[in-house]
Amino acid sequence: MMNREDRIKEIIAKLTLEEKVSQLSYDAPAVEHAGIPKYNWWNECLHGVARAGLATVFPQAIALAATFDEDFIRKVAEAISDEGRAKYNEAVKQGNRSQYYGLTFWTPNINIFRDPRWGRGQETYGEDPYLTGRIGLAFMKGLQGDDPERLKVAACAKHYAVHSGPEKLRHVFNALVSKKDLFETYLPAFKLLVENGVEAVMGAYNRTLGEPCGGSTYLLKEILRGKWGFKGHVTSDCWAIRDFHEYHKVTKSPEESAAMALNAGCDLNCGCTYPLLTVSHKKGLVTEAAIDTALARLLRTRFKLGLFDPPERDPYAKLGKDVINCEKHRTLALEAARKSIVLLRNEKQADGSPLLPLDDSAKRILLIGPAAANVHTLLANYYGMSSRLVTILEGLTNKVKDKPAINFEYRQGSLMYEEVHLGFQAFGAAGHDDAPLYGLDGTDVVIACYGLDGAMEGEEGDAIASDSNGDRDAIELPPWQLNFLRRVRKAGKKVILILTGGSPIAFPDDLADAILFAWYPGEQGGNAVADIIFGDVNPSGKLPITFPQSTAQLPPYEDYAMKGRTYRYMTEKPLYPFGFGLSYSGVRFDSLELSAVSIAPGKQIMAAVTVTNTGSRDAEETVQIYVSRDDRTADDPITSLKAFRRAALPAGKTARIEIELDAAAFESVNAEGDYILAPGVYTVTAANAAPLPVSVEKGAARPVSAKITV
């Protein structure tokens, strides 16, 4: 039997130049005489198979990162790839080879969420390069499987590189970044996925250091294929190559733009420009050999997916419609939501006990807020469709239906998007700030659901309630929501605030007795919120991004320097730190022991952390390991996450958790962009939030540290 590479050469040899070019666009037509079926490369599965009807809707990507659980994230991605294969199988049976039914998924988004104003930050795994890499790698492996020669589906690392807004400038913007920040913050996750076999990489819309990312010799040739040895294919973002001449003005015509992208190493065009490669070739701007190289890479991916094999050789042929949004996957979506929700605040009441979880003393509960019955707070962006979307209102109603002693009421209270007086009317009085809130009389606890939804933040063109093309000009809770909540708070009732959204929200810390950040929690989000509020689940999510106190704490949005950004470089006190998240159990870190007092290049050490659950409930806690260089330069990170482990801690028990660190955990990047292992003393810290004074103030465990010499 002819091997794969020979088959690829044979196919290419049968094609005319025009036929070759036709295969370099995302909507590749069939070429029957060469045995090439029609194929559309464009598919999405950010948190479930998207835009193709029924699918399990998992929590948004930023919420998945909040689980800090690599093994679990792989399970989620495996479920998604099951549904992706099943949808493909069913579509092929019906002769449907259209967009959103292929096996090449343009996921995960491993950009760094460097600024909380970015509307697409919700698609990422947060602000930290290490966490982003580990969660991204787990998701990639869950999609692709373990056999590099036989892909379950193909994953795509995007958007390469240095891409995180502003959305309204993404087609014209030039991201200027130092080589230190480039290699220390923006590229590590891409490097990790490439080294572990990600099949595709997508270029970003913007320019980086002057070159359009999809046509950058520096990014694509020198780094991606040169330094990292990437063997897969590169795709453009959609219609990004057209931006070369229309917006970036680095070329003068479509054929010049097509040539620039192809010659730099972009193999596939999502857009309308690559058909002009025939003109580029006639003008001598590209060679047929370059076209053949790109086509060979694309055919190689299709062969790995088994698209040229007979059905009997397909190990995934039995995956059918019964797996799509099946009970097993819905249960997994519920578990994902439970694991991702972050408890930010849980103040003690007059009797000394915290407000959450609610006990039998809460006889009359009033649910208010526009996020309570809003399915858009479940879906986020790039979503599939489920017939079982459980809102917070529905989840809480399900929970109290077997508690007849509880009087449970719901009133919307105010609107999501703009300040109006309807909020006061909902309680029986309107028109002024001192109007009485009649609905609160006799209420024991108010559960207030506010925050953001997909109309307020997201990708350019999708967030229809955003004034900034999907971004947010300010990170504060919208003022009309804040004003209403202040009136509720002023009434003297116990308040549980549930915030939805995909990015940090700044708000007064004393706005509520208890605060849950629910993200965009997917189809089972309402049930997960109810499980946590009533104590059936102990919250365990951790923030994958710092919550600043205000917009004023942020550097200029268009500045891509990391100075002052994220927990690694921020010197001001945040509202909530990276890695933070409370539970209903007390946690104490007792000691950190390192297996050696020094480490050399290529070696490893073991960090043994002793941690105790001091509470009366079983818990899951995330042990986070941070490394700081004692004599760091002003440009080095203050501290950096280098390992984490989510562990089950039975009530009242102590566990010894061992985590391996290799010498790379102590590396830094110099001004030239080279990774170096600088000699000196380093501090290794074990904690359950970034080791900042504010972490302990907010209720995180006191960290423990040890020194090591490099």
Question: Which residues are known catalytic residues?
Answer: 237, 457
Q: Which residues face 709 on adjacent strands?
A: 598, 681
Helix or strand (DSSP H, E) at 633: none
Looking at residue 105, the DSSP 8-state letter turns out to be: B
Give the integer Cα–Cα distance in Å for 675 and 13: 43
Report CA dihedral (551, 555, 559, 562) to the nearest 10 degrees. Answer: -120
Q: In terms of DSSP bridges, do strands 681-687 and 704-709 run parallel, antiparallel, or are they unpaired?
A: antiparallel
Is-contact 190 204, C-beta < 8 A?
A: no
Instruction: Locate 478 and state its tokens.
Output: 């919208």
CA angle 297, 301, 307 (to 5 degrees): 130
Give the integer Cα–Cα distance in Å for 666 and 188: 14
Q: Is 2 exposed, middle or buried (0-12, 13-18, 19+ CB in 10 A)?
A: exposed
Adjacency order of strands within the sheet including 407-411 = 342-346, 514-519, 494-500, 445-451, 364-368, 407-411
First to last CA, the chain: 54
Radius of gyration from C-alpha coordinates of the chain:
26
Instruction: Locate 414 and state its tokens.
Output: 């105010």
Give the integer Cα–Cα distance in Å for 438 and 146: 60
Is-contact 560 175, C-beta < 8 A?
A: yes
Give the integer Cα–Cα distance in Å for 498 and 515: 6
Long-range contacts of 490-496 (CB under 8 A, 24+ apart): 491/437, 491/440, 493/440, 493/443, 493/444, 493/445, 493/446, 494/349, 494/355, 494/444, 494/445, 494/446, 495/445, 495/446, 495/447, 495/448, 496/355, 496/356, 496/358, 496/445, 496/446, 496/447, 496/448, 496/533
Instruction: Report phi then psi at 709, rounded to 5.
Output: -105, 135
Cα distances (Å, whole numbers) of residue 250 to 43, 218, 260: 29, 15, 10
